[in-house]
Amino acid sequence: MEQITIRNYINGEWVDEPGVNYVNLDNPSTGEIVGRVPFCTEKTADNAITAAQAAFESWRKVPVAARTAYLFKLYDLVQANYDDLAYTISYEQGKSPVDAHAEMVRVVENIQSACAAPLVIQGDFLENAGPGIHGEVIPQPLGVCGLIVPYNFPAMVPFWFLPYALAAGNTVVLKASEQVPITMQKIFRLIDQLGLPKGVANLVNGDAKVAGAILAAPDVKAVSFVGSTNVAKIIASSCAATGKRFQALGGAKNYFVVMEDAKMDQVLKSFTTSCYGCAGQRCMAASVIAAVPAVYDQLKDSLVAEAKKLKVGDATDPTVGVGPVISAAHKEKVLKYIETGIKEGAKLLLDGRSVELPEKNKNGYFIGPTIFADVTPEMTIAQEEIFGPVVCLMKIDNLDQALKQIKEHQYGNGASVFTQNGYYAHKFMQECDAGMVGINVGIPAPVAQLPFGGVKNSAFADIKAQGRDVFSFFTTRKIVTSRFFPED
């Protein structure tokens, strides 16, 4: 892939901000420079917001079926460029080809779901609410919506929001992650082919300055964010202070509970994909495996054996199961967590700190599958989100203890239980203090037609991402009471 210079897309044009600094982009599998991204100022964000605000009044009046027609066209363009986009995700983010293609599946699903807008955003009518009085509820778009997205899913996460916002009649300013802007650059090249009115969809690049401008702008009526919990709290408080709607999705520490009657072959199959997919850099990754005594010792040996089967290497290699983490800085962060786990007394069963790699990947940011055993709930590696291929194996007495630990944890994004026992399954489903729950499913991430989001410090929002629910976020419900008198 040739080196690329990232540009902004504002008011239907590809534009640059003069005089700004450019930062190199590197391939995490090799460390090689693959492009450069501008760290734009508030000026670029303000220009995009101005364009989006100017486009809003006419865009909101476009019939909803006509708005979704653009999304049908986008669906076709994404499908036609599916393999290239998946390769780009692997190339710039470090996901294995399997994980990159899985991400693209969700992009396509979300476009399809947003195309249901003509059915989903219909209003309500109450005849004879009073004598001669009728009541109506009319869903209407909000205005300019700001989208601030993370590095770990450069295609999927933006599509939790973007197609729904447009279908509902809003205009959009999207800030791509400065670490992985190439995928969204390519997607906006497809959006540029749709013939959308100028200013309806805008792309800006930069760091916290650009995000801050989106938060500060009075014309931005809603913000959707995915990232760390610390930043999510800032997003939520800033939006609350200025009267903006917000979805601020944060971190996670997901439990993977194994009961004595679990189908062990399915546990092991789910373990590798859930814990080591995306090199552990996803909010749905299982990072604490809690097992009852009857299977704990067996599981220790089996998990290590399965993890050793995974090939670590270049993310564009179809035979690779675990690619690199995103950057040298993040690699150092994960390595420090491994050191902390050792110091706190956890037993390092599998050490991924030194993996054998081809010469071309020696400068990549690789950490192999890592497993700690005898982890206890108070340990740092059990409390904090590592966001890497590090697994904590913990012994629990019973299901009640697992549920108690999940409830007491600061995060509540996802959790899964593996059991054939209906009582266990229903108890877990009802009592597990997490936003997304799996029963014999290692990654309980819902399909695009269902809402996505956690609880506690994993999400600061009343309305979750994607699916039918997100239309409620991108619309306001106007209530009309009307009465007409007979002519004299």
Q: What is the pLDDT of residues 184-238, one digit of tens each?
A: 999 999 999 999 999 999 999 999 999 999 999 999 999 999 999 999 999 999 9
pLDDT given for residue 101 in this prediction:
97
Instruction: Point out the catalytic residue in the list 40, 115, 145, 283.
Output: 283
Q: Give the DSSP letter string of 111-137.
A: HHHHTTHHHHT--EEEEEEETTEEEEE
E strand or H helix at 293, and its extent? Answer: helix 293-308
Identify the band that residue 462 occupies on the pLDDT scale cut at 50, 70 and 90. Answer: confident
Q: What residues contact 239, with CB distance under 8 A and at least 6 apart?
A: 215, 223, 245, 246, 248
Query: Following DSSP, what letter does each residue of 220-281 receive, concatenated?
Result: EEEEEEES-HHHHHHHHHHHHHHT-EEEEE----EEEEE-TT--HHHHHHHHHHHHHGGGG-
Q: What percent of the chain shows pLDDT beyond 70?
A: 100
Tell which phi-psi region holds residue 109, choosing left (phi > 0), alpha (psi between -120 and 50) or beta: alpha
Q: Mean pLDDT throughout 293-300? A: 97
Spatial separation of the C-alpha atoms in residues 75 and 80, rounded to whole Å: 9
Give, for 479, the enclosing helix (H) or strand (E): strand 475-483
Averaged pLDDT, 257-278: 97
Tell me the pLDDT tens digit for each residue of 328-338.
Answer: 999 999 999 99
Average pLDDT over residues 288-293: 98
Q: Is 1 a residue whose pLDDT tops 80?
A: no
> Which pLDDT does position 114 carry in this prediction?
98
> Which pLDDT score, from 0 to 100, does residue 488 have?
83
| Mean pLDDT value across the chain | 97
* pLDDT (tens digit per residue) in 350-408: 999 989 999 999 999 999 999 999 999 999 999 999 999 999 999 999 999 999 999 99
Length of the chain: 488
Contacts of 80 (CB under 8 A, 6+ apart): none
For residue 202, give the DSSP letter: E
Q: Which pLDDT value is given to residue 353?
A: 96
Domains in the chain and their CATH numbers? 4-250+458-480 (3.40.605.10), 254-439 (3.40.309.10)
Determine the Cα angle at 481 with ends 478 and 482, to 5°: 130
Q: How many CB atoms lie within 10 A of CB 347?
A: 13
392 counts as catalytic: no
- CB-count exposure of residue 79 (10 Å: 0-12, 13-18, 19+): middle
pLDDT confidence tier of residue 2, bands split at 50, 70 and 90: confident
428-437 per-position pLDDT tens digit: 999 999 999 9
Q: Is the dihedral of CA 74, 247, 182, 323 positive or negative?
A: negative
